[in-house]
């Protein structure tokens, strides 16, 4: 059983016990940054196909901004030229930060980052020359919206997904608060 499955199973089991004990009372659970990283693992690396370029996002680092109900995710990035026949250029290692609004889609049972925006982009390691067009494109995309990012897909994590229907979700200082 993967760490993501264990974390999700723990969340569902805890929720079931709490609901059984409290019957109709509200239950709050907070998913911390470490738990969110574990829950996102089945979706990583997250690949962005940008024409001739491939960008893999790994190692998410969540930051919680309760004042604006936003989440920012820092990612390690590996940029590759999909058209290159050889690995002479090698991947370019970079860091990027994406921020957006937290949303729960009850129909798909997904916790999503909607209207995600590229907040930061920095080249860390490698020869940037072959990647100059992509690096320039990413730097000019700062502030632009990206496709929705799935933070948690309860249905992919196994049994108990039908119980994952929070009545409200909010960003708190140390994570994401889920109320059932």
For residue 95, the domain's CATH number is: 3.15.10
- Structure-derived torsion over alpha carbons of residues 78, 101, 40, 143, reported in degrees to the nearest 10: 0
Note whether residue 178 is domain-resident.
no
- Cα–Cα nearest to 29, from 21, 18, 38: 18
Range of the domain at 95: 3-165
**Share of the chain residues as helix, strand and coil, in percent rounded to the nearest 5:** 30, 45, 25
Note whether residue 171 is domain-resident.
no
- As a whole number, mean pLDDT of residues 95-118 equals 89
Interval 39-97: pLDDT, tens: 788 778 888 877 777 888 899 999 999 988 899 999 999 988 766 644 556 778 999 99
Confidence at residue 20, expressed as pLDDT on a 0 to 100 scale: 46
- As a whole number, mean pLDDT of residues 5-22 equals 54
Return left, alpha or beta for 162; rule: phi > 0 is left, psi -120 to 50 is alpha, else beta: alpha
Residue 15 has pLDDT above 60, yes or no: no
- Banded model confidence at residue 22, pLDDT cuts 50, 70, 90: very low
Confidence at residue 13, expressed as pLDDT on a 0 to 100 scale: 53
Note whether residue 174 is domain-resident.
no
Note whether residue 57 is domain-resident.
yes
Note whether residue 68 is domain-resident.
yes
User: CB–CB of 87/112 below 8 Å?
Assistant: no
CA distance 140 to 1: 42
Note whether residue 124 is domain-resident.
yes
Confidence at residue 150, expressed as pLDDT on a 0 to 100 scale: 81
- Cα–Cα nearest to 71, from 161, 140, 169: 169
Note whether residue 148 is domain-resident.
yes
Share of the chain above pLDDT 90, in %: 21
Note whether residue 179 is domain-resident.
no
SS3 label, residue 5: helix
This model's pTM is above 0.75: no
CA distance 132 to 78: 14
Q: How many separate domains does the chain show?
A: 1
Confidence at residue 94, expressed as pLDDT on a 0 to 100 scale: 93
Residue 29 has pLDDT above 80, yes or no: yes
């Amino acid at each position: 059983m993967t760490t993501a499955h264990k974390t999700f199973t723990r969340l569902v089991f805890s929720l079931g016990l709490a609901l059984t004990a409290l019957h109709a009372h509200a239950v709050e659970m907070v998913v911390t940054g470490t738990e969110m990283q574990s829950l996102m693992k089945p979706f990583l690396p997250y690949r962005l196909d940008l024409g001739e370029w491939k960008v893999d996002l790994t190692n998410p680092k969540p930051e919680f901004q309760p004042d604006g109900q936003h989440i920012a995710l820092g990612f390690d990035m590996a940029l590759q030229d999909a058209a290159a026949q050889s690995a002479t250029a090698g991947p370019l290692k970079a860091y990027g930060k994406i921020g957006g609004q937290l949303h729960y889609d009850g129909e798909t049972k997904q916790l999503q980052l909607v209207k995600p925006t590229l907040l930061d982009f920095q080249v860390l390691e490698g020869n940037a020359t072959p990647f100059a067009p992509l690096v320039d494109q990413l730097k000019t995309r700062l502030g632009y919206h990206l496709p929705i990012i799935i933070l948690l897909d309860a249905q992919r994590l196994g049994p108990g997904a039908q119980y994952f229907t929070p009545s409200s979700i909010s960003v708190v200082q140390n994570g994401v608060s889920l109320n059932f």
